[in-house]
Homo-oligomer: A and B are copies of this chain.
Amino acid sequence: MLETEANLGLNQKMNKIGIGLVGCGTVGSGLIRNLPKANPLIGERLGVNLEIRAVAVKDPSKARETLPVPVVADWKKVIADPAVQIVVELVGGTDEAFRISEASLKAGKPLVTANKALLAERGRELLSLAQQSGNPIYFEASVAGGIPVIKVLREGLVANQLLGLHGIINGTSNYILSRMAEAGSDFQTALQQAKDLGYAETDDRLDVDGIDAAHKAAILCLLAYGFLPVFTDIPVEGIRHVSAQEVSFARQLGYVIKLLAVIRPVGSDRVEVRVAPTLLPSRHPMASVHGAFNAIGLIGNLAGPVQLTGRGAGPDATSSALLADLAEAAKNLHDKSPGPLLPKADGKIRLIGKGESVGRFYVRLEVEDRPGVLALVAGIFGAEKIGISSVLQPEGHGAGSVPLVFLLEAAAESSLHKAVALITKLPNCRAPARILRVEDLS
């Protein structure tokens, strides 16, 4: 607002860089809508200007926005257009998006993408193509649109060894869990509210089952540790099984439940990456990240703990990231600079094995309401050398069974599962145990 007016003169003198858009749904329309206001700012701050010169959509007759350029159905024409210097891939998915990206890089045009699935699932191929072609890929919009975490990791904290990362990186799940905590709703009610408000898609699986968060976790792992895990090897647990009861017990214990992505080094050559509903201490700053907001905590060996909070999704927040990438790509073209170095994706690092994870757990059992049961259960945890840090047993109401909730000390996941298997075989145990992660993030 302040800069726009003062600098029109300056901007008119600048070389414009041509952009080609492949895909123009909500995100692409947002980009087109936001570009005119952003352009003078980009001009003043980076000395370049952006111009959309070609757009491809599946059905040009259904284009949502009045576009400033002809709209074609064949994306190959956009990439081949000599006026297009940077290609933005916004079709989503991993198949056609891969072909578009490949064609763009092979045509010598830098690629900007918001496609986390593409990067997480086919990132190795993509990075290797980029390496061969000598063209950069920019993907700030793939993780937490309103928060420039990719740039912070790549450049701002470039001198830091990362001692760990954790994040609330799926806004839909966070909205649902926040509703459950605030209104005491059950999962289905909160999910329906999220759908009514447009926070959740009709197909809710990517968001609610943790897959979207895992895509982003894989990308953060790539940037932090130069290692892109095989996507299907990442342990992912969604929030469908989180009940109002769990949310309430967690609160009584001084915790909130968040869908948390954790990426942390183990020893010198392994990394733990996982996504799971997790109890966080209520007083931790991440516990007060509510609604559709995202937050990412990074611990640098030099910078110390850093937390970034902001909007994760929505056409405007995603535009903010896409336009930052486009501006950077344009400045690099203008300066004839090769742009950011691509992260390697194939170091000697590997994921820890199944069950090797060590951490704290929350376990809720449903047990027969009679003397001696607590001692039996505690004895099994003890035999597996798992310390109990807190127990909660509300009074029974004559139903014959009572919940029995444990917060445990750190233990290997394999020991935990062994102990729980033994406990649930007890004749006094009335239902399958509910197990959740606990992170103190201290």
List chain A positions with a Cβ less than 8 A from chain B: 1-7, 34, 37-38, 41-42, 44-47, 140, 145-148, 151-152, 154-161, 225-227, 265, 268-269, 271, 283, 285, 288-289, 300-311, 314, 316-317, 319-321, 323-324, 327-328, 332, 335-338, 340-341, 343-344, 347-349
Contact = CB atoms under 8 A, between A and B. Distances in A.
B341 A45 contact: yes
Copies of this protein chain in the complex: 2
A303 B319 CA distance: 8
8 contacts: A2-B225, A2-B268, A3-B226, A41-B158, A41-B159, A44-B344, A46-B341, A155-B328
Contacts of A140: 156
Contact of A156 (B148, B309, B332, B348): B148
B225 A45 contact: no
Given A41-B158, A148-B157, A288-B285, A34 B302 contact: yes
Given A46-B341, A285-B285, A288-B288, A152 B148 contact: yes
A304 B358 CA distance: 37
Contact of A301 (B37, B154, B156): B37
B304 A306 contact: no
**Closest 3 pairs (CB-CB, A-B):** A148-B156, A159-B323, A337-B337
Given A300-B146, A337-B337, A42 B156 contact: no
Contact of A160 (B41, B265, B344, B347): B41
A226 B44 contact: yes
